[in-house]
Amino acid sequence: MAEPRRLLSVLLLGLLVTLPAHAQLTVQITQGVNAPIPVAVVPFAGDGLAVDVAAVVEADLARSGRFAGLARTAMPQRPTAAAQFDATQWRLVKTDYLVLGRVLHDGDRYLVEFELYNVLTGARLLAYSVTAAATGLRLAAHRTADLIYEKILGVPGAFASRIAYVLVEGPPASRRWKLVVADADGENPVVVVNSPQPLMSPTWSPDGTRLAYVSFEGHASGVWIQNMLTGSREKVSGRPGINGAPAWSPDGQRLALALSQPDGNVDVFVMELASRALLRVTDDPAIDTEPCFAPDGQSLYFTSDRAGRPQIYHIVLAAGERPKRVTFEGNYNARPRVSPDGTQLAVVTQDQGAYRIATVDVATGRSKVVTSGRLDEGPSFAPNGQTVVYAARERGRGVLATAAVDSGVTSRISAASGDVREPAWSPRL
Amino acid sequence: MKRILSLALIVALSSLLAACPKKPTTVPNANAGQVVAPVSGASTGSASADANQVRPLANDSASSAGSEGVLASTIRFEYDSSEIKAEYAPVISAQGKRLAADRRATVRLEGHTDERGSAEYNVALGERRAQAVKKALLLQGASESQLSTVSYGEERPVTDGHDEAAWAQNRRVEIIVLAAH
């Protein structure tokens, strides 16, 4: 009896690792800018490649909503080197920019060389060589798209990054929670934890090698840290009651947490990871939770209902400091996340009876609703601060969506099945 | 040149990261104890075996499936409230007296919210509800050592709907009677 069952286990594991199709995400632009910049990405030279590098680059640029690609059938020529590029032919197809390149074998690795041209002037704007491991061609393509995006728009791209999310599958009675890590374009999803109990609140370490998250294994909440390189995991907080809402300090040495007292009241703490020593940050009979470090590591934003309804507060991590309220617009503002430059918060806000994502200007307290769903939650900034990814409900199903902070571009990221929730955008890879 | 070199290094390093094989960590179920090591070679198949341990009551079984213990009662709450409504006084009274009469009996109070709002805030709100029921049971003669609480926030709805009726069902505390040790 033992043997067949073991075989089944092996088969199932194989399915999880090699065929994560159920976790695969599809990204769709739902709203772009009015006049996206036309850019032609000519197929790269290179034989027997597993990845169409030019297609990945073009898809990244198009997915940002800021660019429009050019169909290959509409290309007047297919240059792969500077000498072949004839700007006059390209001016006729009304493209502003052109990308050409080639993939060269370099032992067991690849060298991706690309050039970016201004079609109008014929000037070469960029020329880079990107080294990639045999399995890293997609990543090299994302890095290429990042550089093109930055050159044209003046802001770094965020294509070479990942998104961690929780995939919830099955009806309430036999539900499973999966913690999944995928590339920012939804490709290469990998299930890193699979549990019959809830998984929540994944968040990336600043170096992108570890995830902290909440797991309810054993019918109790615990905060875990899992190494993405080795797969090893460790429970860093498993006190009685609530162990939740982990948030890394910018130096990766500390973890802010929400922990409950024996009477169930939740307060914010900071744990020194090396020693596990806890520093109490808040002490109030209200709910204090969802901490988030400011980029300088010296202060925290958090949610508190000390004024009756949840609002965002800010506290400096020094003896005797008192929290200051940050949000005053609307009667529900929760789950702050700080933009990489520290100037904005992304929060969940109540807006016309719905729950939506808003950005809050830290200096003025002014807030701006950037989504239009009914049950939007869990915003997370892209590493370039241009976009937030968040969880939305669409026809009863949980999907991820993105909203640009300034440009109005939105996209939807959905899985083939199940609810996708609690996205966390990684640092740039 | 220097910039190209550092870029190449970054990409090479992150490619290494991407290439690193990862096996999903299958969390074994519940009563395996507090310390759960990553189980390499474990499967989803083994995890579903625990269904045998579930003996839910016939009429309100959904949310306790997949956990040990038996759902004894459900207490429902108003939106953003942890106040126990008067209609639940008989339930609290009966459960409290039962616990007072049998000191070996233990229950787990599982707090839940509806899906609206942020997930971790809802965990805190669910804990408040569980604590409210705990206080009420203590007043009925149950002792501290017989009661444990956990809040699942919005993670474990009893129904999958997304309207007022579904939300009202999901805002609750479940009293789970645990097997005697």
Q: Is the pLDDT of residue A121 over 80?
A: yes
- Strand B147-153 and strand B106-112: pairing? parallel
Q: Which residue has the tokens 């790269």?
A: A44
Instruction: Give A308's contacts (C-beta < 8 A, 6+ positions apart).
Output: none
Between A214 and B1, where is the model more confident?
A: A214
Average pLDDT, chain A: 91
Domain CATH for B159: 3.30.1330.60
**Residues in B touching A231 (Cβ below 8 Å):** 22-23, 25, 38, 40
How far is residue B51's CA from residue B73's CA, in Å, rounded to a whole number? Answer: 21
C-alpha A135: how far from its chain's center? 22
What is the model's pLDDT at position B40? Answer: 33
**Residues in A touching B123 (Cβ below 8 Å):** 200, 221, 242, 244-245, 258, 289
Q: Which domains does chain A carry?
A: 25-153 (3.40.50.10070), 162-425 (2.120.10.30)
C-alpha A222: how far from its chain's center? 23
Is A39 at the interface with chain B, CB within 8 A?
no
For residue A418, name the pLDDT band (cuts at 50, 70, 90): confident
Instruction: Give A392's contacts (C-beta < 8 A, 6+ positions apart).
Output: A371, A373, A375, A376, A398, A399, A400, A401, A412
Is B127 at the interface with chain A, CB within 8 A?
yes
- Structure tokens, B103: 């000191």
Output the pTM of the full model: 0.85
Q: Is the pLDDT of residue B138 over 90?
A: yes
- Using CA coordinates, name the residue in chain B closest to A111: B8
Pairwise CB contact (< 8 Å): B24 & A335:
no
Of B53, B72, B89, the domain-final residue: B53
B93 and B14 within one domain = no
**Residues in A touching B117 (Cβ below 8 Å):** 310, 332, 334, 348, 355, 377
Q: What percent of chain A has pLDDT over 90?
A: 77
How far is residue A144's CA from residue A129's CA, in Å, rounded to a whole number? Answer: 9
Pairwise CB contact (< 8 Å): B27 & A193:
yes
B76 and B42 within one domain = no
- Structure tokens, A212: 């902290």
**Residues in B touching A229 (Cβ below 8 Å):** 17, 20
B153 and B80 within one domain = yes
The alpha carbon of residue B49 is apart from the nearest alpha carbon of chain A, in Å, by 11
**Residues in B touching A216 (Cβ below 8 Å):** 150, 152, 155
Average pLDDT score over residue span A322-334: 95
- Write down how long chain A is: 429
pLDDT in tens, A352-373: 999 999 999 999 999 999 999 9
For residue A31, name the pLDDT band (cuts at 50, 70, 90): confident
How far is residue A297's CA from residue A317's CA, in Å, rounded to a whole number? Answer: 9
Q: Chain B neighbours among A 327-366 (CB < 8 Å)?
A: 332, 334-335, 348, 355
**Residues in B touching A219 (Cβ below 8 Å):** 30, 67, 108, 150
pLDDT in tens, A257-306: 999 988 889 999 999 999 999 999 999 999 999 999 999 999 999 999 99
Pairwise CB contact (< 8 Å): A201 & B119:
yes
B39 and B69 within one domain = no
Q: Chain B neighbours among A 149-168 (CB < 8 Å)?
A: 160
How far is residue A5's CA from residue A24's CA, in Å, rounded to a whole number? Answer: 28
Average pLDDT score over residue span B7-31: 50
Between A96 and A429, where is the model more confident?
A: A96
**Residues in A touching B159 (Cβ below 8 Å):** 172
Pairwise CB contact (< 8 Å): B41 & A128:
no
How many domains, in total, are found in chain B?
2
- Judge contact between A196 and A176, C-beta under 8 A: yes
What is the model's pLDDT at position A255? Answer: 98
- Structure tokens, A381: 């900034």
Q: Which of B32, B65, B150 sits opposite A220 (nearest CB)?
A: B150
B45 and B66 within one domain = no
pLDDT in tens, B39-79: 233 332 222 222 222 222 233 333 333 357 899 999 999 99
What is the model's pLDDT at position B57? Answer: 29
What is the model's pLDDT at position A135? Answer: 87
What is the model's pLDDT at position A47? Answer: 84
Of B12, B31, B53, the domain-final residue: B53
B63 and B31 within one domain = no
B171 and B95 within one domain = yes
The alpha carbon of residue B94 is apart from the nearest alpha carbon of chain A, in Å, by 23
Q: With H, G, I as helix, E, B as strand and everything else as coil, classify residue B181.
A: coil
Q: Quick count: other Cβ atoms within 10 Å of Cβ B97?
A: 14
Pairwise CB contact (< 8 Å): A16 & B24:
yes
With CA atoms as reference, report the closest residue to A187 among A146, A135, A109.
A135
Pairwise CB contact (< 8 Å): A266 & B149:
no
Q: What percent of chain B has pLDDT over 90?
A: 57
- Structure tokens, A382: 């892209």
Of B53, B69, B85, the domain-final residue: B53
Q: Chain A neighbours among B 105-124 (CB < 8 Å)?
A: 108, 115-121, 123-124
According to DSSP, the residues that pair with A28 across neighbouring strands are A412
With CA atoms as reference, report the closest residue to A411 among A399, A420, A422.
A399
B150 and B72 within one domain = yes
Instruction: Give the ipTM of the model, two decimals please.
Output: 0.87
Q: Is the pLDDT of residue B19 over 70?
A: no
- Judge contact between B95 and B135, C-beta under 8 A: no
Instruction: Give A285's contacts (C-beta < 8 A, 6+ positions apart).
Output: A265
Query: Hey, of A6, A194, A347, A375, which one would you mutate to test binding to chain B, going by the most B CBs within 10 A of its CB?
Result: A194
Q: Name the DSSP class of A410.
A: E
Q: Which amino acid is located at B132 in the chain?
A: A
Instruction: Give A417's contacts (C-beta < 8 A, 6+ positions apart).
Output: A22, A169
Average pLDDT score over residue span A242-267: 96
The alpha carbon of residue B102 is apart from the nearest alpha carbon of chain A, in Å, by 23
Q: Name the DSSP class of A418.
A: S
What is the model's pLDDT at position B180? Answer: 67
Is B50 at the interface with chain A, CB within 8 A?
yes
Give, in degrees to the nearest 5, the angle at Cα B12 between A401 and A209: 55
The alpha carbon of residue A130 is apart from the nearest alpha carbon of chain B, in Å, by 5
Instruction: Give A129's contacts (C-beta < 8 A, 6+ positions apart).
Output: A111, A112, A113, B4, B8
The alpha carbon of residue A70 is apart from the nearest alpha carbon of chain B, in Å, by 27
For residue A176, name the pLDDT band (cuts at 50, 70, 90): very high
B121 and B33 within one domain = no
How far is residue A385's CA from residue A300's CA, in Å, rounded to a whole number? Answer: 18
B172 and B90 within one domain = yes
Is B1 at the interface with chain A, CB within 8 A?
no
Q: The domain containing residue B10 runs over which residues?
A: 1-53
pLDDT in tens, A77-89: 999 999 999 999 9
The alpha carbon of residue B33 is apart from the nearest alpha carbon of chain A, in Å, by 6
Between B50 and A251, where is the model more confident?
A: A251
Is A19 at the interface with chain B, CB within 8 A?
no
- Structure tokens, A134: 């045999």
- Judge contact between A60 and A159, C-beta under 8 A: yes
Average pLDDT score over residue span A49-77: 94
Instruction: Give A46's contacts (C-beta < 8 A, 6+ positions apart).
Output: A53, A102, A103, A104
- Judge contact between B61 and B70, C-beta under 8 A: no
Q: What percent of chain A has pLDDT over 70?
A: 94
B62 and B15 within one domain = no
- Judge contact between A407 and A65, C-beta under 8 A: yes
Average pLDDT score over residue span A183-200: 93
Average pLDDT score over residue span A406-412: 80
Burial of A251 (0-12, 13-18, 19+ CB in 10 A): exposed
B155 and B109 within one domain = yes
